[in-house]
Amino acid sequence: MMSSKAGSKRRKQRDDERLFAIVAVIGSLVFGAGFCFLLFVMNKRENNPTDETGYAVANSESRLIPPDHPRQLVNFTLTDRTGRTVTRSDLAGKILVVDFLFTSCSLTCPAVNGQMAQIQQLTTNRADVKLVSLTVDPRDDTPAVLEKYGERFGADTNRWLFLTGEKTMLYDLIGKSFLTQDLNDPFSYMPGNFSHTERIAIVDWHGNLSGYFDGLNQNTATAVVNEIKKMGNQNL
Amino acid sequence: MKTIVVKCLTLFCALLFAHSILAMPTGGDQSTKSYSARGVVEKIAPDLRQVTIHHQAIPGYMMEMTMDFNVKNTNELSGISPKDEITFTLVVGENDEWVESIRRVGHSAGTMTNKMSMPMEMSHGMMMAELKPGDLLPDYALMAEDGQQIHFSDFRGKALAFTFFFTRCPLPDYCPRMNNNFEQTRKILSTDTNAPTNWQFLSISFDPEFDTPDVLLNYADVYRGDNTNRWLFAAASTNVLADVALRLDLMVMRQGDNISHNLRTVVLDPQGRIYKQFDSNQWTPQQLADAIMQAAHLSSQ
- In three state form, how does the secondary structure of chain B look? CHHHHHHHHHHHHHHHHHHHHHCCCCCCCCCCEEEEEEEEEEEECCCCCEEEEEECCECCCECCEEEEEEECCHHHHCCCCCCEEEEEEEEECCCCEEEEEEEEEEECCCHHHHHHCECECHHHHHHHHCCCCCCECCCCEEEECCCCEEEHHHHCCCEEEEEEECCCCCCCCCHHHHHHHHHHHHHHHHHCCCCCCCEEEEEEECCCCCCCHHHHHHHHHHHHCCCCCCEEEEECCHHHHHHHHHHHCCCEEEECCEEEECCEEEEECCCCEEEEEEECCCCCHHHHHHHHHHHHHHHHC
Number of domains in chain A: 2
Q: Which of residues 163-182 of B touch A (CB under 8 A)?
A: 171, 174
How many inter-chain contacts (A to B, CB under 8 Å) are there? 115
**ipTM surpasses cut 0.85:** no
Q: Does one domain contain both A19 and A73?
A: no
Across B36-59, average pLDDT:
84
Out of A29-38, A154-163, B60-69, give the one with best mean pLDDT: A154-163
Decide if A187 and B61 are in contact by the 8 Å CB cutoff: no
Structural domain B141-300, CATH architecture: 3-Layer(aba) Sandwich (3.40)
Topology given in CATH for the domain delimited by B33-129 = OB fold (Dihydrolipoamide Acetyltransferase, E2P) (2.40.50)
Q: Which residue has the higher pLDDT, B110 or B254?
A: B254
Across A71-78, average pLDDT:
97
Question: What does the alpha-carbon distance between residue A50 and residue B260 come to, in Å, rounded to a whole number?
Answer: 13
Q: Does one domain contain both A175 and A96?
A: yes
Across A126-136, average pLDDT:
96
Q: Which residue has the higher pLDDT, B76 or A27?
A: B76
Q: Does one domain contain both A114 and A140?
A: yes
B-chain residue closest to A54, CA distance: B256
A167 neighbourhood in chain B, CB within 8 Å = 127, 249
Report pLDDT for B49: 86
Q: Tell me the per-residue pLDDT of B188-206, one tens digit each, with 9 for 90 and over.
A: 999 999 999 999 999 999 9
Evaluate if residue B108 carries a pLDDT over 80.
Answer: no
Q: Does one domain contain both A96 and A129?
A: yes
Report pLDDT for B123: 42
Task: Report if pTM > 0.80.
Answer: no
B15 neighbourhood in chain A, CB within 8 Å = 32, 35
The domains of chain B are located at: 33-129, 141-300
Decide if A189 and B94 are in contact by the 8 Å CB cutoff: no
Domain limits for position A212? 62-230
**Percentage of residues of chain A with pLDDT beyond 70:** 75
State the average pLDDT for chain B: 83
Q: Is the dihedral of CA A137, A141, A143, A149 positive or negative?
A: negative
B262 touches chain A (CB under 8 A): yes
Q: Which of A34-38, A135-139, A146-150, B178-182 has the lowest mean pLDDT?
A: A34-38
Q: Does one domain contain both A42 and A131?
A: no
Out of A46-55, B116-125, B142-151, give the one with best mean pLDDT: B142-151
Report pLDDT for A11: 61
